[in-house]
Amino acid sequence: MHQPEKDQQAKKAAMKMLREERKTLIKAASTKMKHQKNAIDAILDQLKAGAKTVPAIAAATGASTAETLWYVAALKKYGEIKEAEKDGGYFKYELAN
């Protein structure tokens, strides 16, 4: 067997081993990304009905207030939502478009 063929086989074996070693990490990252997408979609769905506060969004989606606040801050930063009027001690948020 020629050296280039041996190198190619060694690379394939190394990649197979690397994929196997990282399988758990890849699955965990994929699961987390799916959760994040679902959480963001749920928040945006709630805001389609009108402006809401973070506690109201959290209650409607079943997420914690802290998690909801985190996503709302990110959505606001990237221009997906914006602050609306204040409701007591909380700002309401609405879709930006």
Q: What pLDDT is stored for residue 97 in this prediction?
A: 78
| Per-residue confidence band for 1, with pLDDT thresholds at 50, 70 and 90 | low
β partners of residue 82: 94
Count Cβ neighbours within 10 Å for each residue of 43-64 and write b for 16 or more, e otherwise: beebbeeebbbbebbbeebebe
Tokens of 6: 């041996």
3-95 CATH fold:
Arc Repressor Mutant, subunit A (1.10.10)
Residue 8: pLDDT over 70: yes
Q: Report CA 88 to chain centroid distance, whole Å.
A: 29
Sorted by where each begins, the domain ranges of the chain are 3-95
φ, ψ of residue 88 to 5 degrees: the values are 70, -120
Is the full-model pTM beyond 0.75?
Answer: yes
